[in-house]
Amino acid sequence: MSSDNSTAGHSTRRKFLGAAGLMGAGAVLSGCTNVLATHPAKANLDATIFNFALNLEYLEAAFYLAAVGRLDELTDAGGDASKVILPAGFTGRGGVAVPGLTGDMLAMAHEIADDELAHVKVIRKVLGGVAVPQPRLDLGPAFQAAGSAASGGVITNFNPFANELFFLHGAFIFEDVGVTAYKGAARLLVDDSAGGNLENAAGILAVEAYHSGSVRTQLYNRRTQQAAAGLTVEQVVQAISNLRDAVDGSDDRDQGLSANAANNQNPNVPARSANIVPTDINGIAFSRTPRQVANIVFLDTTGTKTSGGFFPDGLSGNFSAILAL
Does 309 fall in a domain? yes
Does 77 fall in a domain? yes
Which residues on adjacent β-strands are paired with residue 233?
none
Does 4 fall in a domain? no
Does 3 fall in a domain? no
Does 277 fall in a domain? yes
Per-residue pLDDT of the chain (325 residues; tens, 9 = 90+): 444 443 343 343 333 333 333 333 333 343 434 454 444 557 889 999 999 999 999 999 999 999 999 999 999 999 999 999 999 999 999 999 999 999 999 999 999 999 999 999 999 998 999 999 999 999 999 999 998 888 888 888 899 999 999 999 999 999 989 999 989 998 999 987 777 888 888 889 999 999 999 999 999 999 999 998 889 999 999 989 988 888 887 777 888 887 655 444 456 666 677 889 888 878 888 899 999 999 999 999 888 999 999 999 999 999 999 998 8
Residue 75's nearest CA partner among 87, 65, 88, 89 is 65
296 neighbors 21 (Cβ within 8 angstroms): yes
Which residues touch 38 (CB under 8 Å, ≥6 apart)? Answer: 44, 190
Which residues touch 228 (CB under 8 Å, ≥6 apart)? Answer: 155, 158, 166, 236
Q: What whole-number distance in Å separates Cα of residue 107 and Cα of residue 80? A: 24
Q: What whole-number distance in Å separates Cα of residue 247 and Cα of residue 21? A: 6
Does 18 fall in a domain? yes
Per the structure, how many domains does the chain have?
1
Calculate the CA dihedral of residues 11, 12, 17, 20 and round it to 10 degrees: 10
Does 1 fall in a domain? no
Q: What is the distance of C-alpha 118 from the center of its chain?
A: 16
Tell me the residue range of the domain where 260 lies.
12-323
Helices assigned H by DSSP within 187-279: 197-221, 233-247
Scored b (16 or more CB within 10 A) or e, 196-234 reads: bbbbbbeebbebbbebbebbbebbbebbeeebbeebbbb
Does 214 fall in a domain? yes
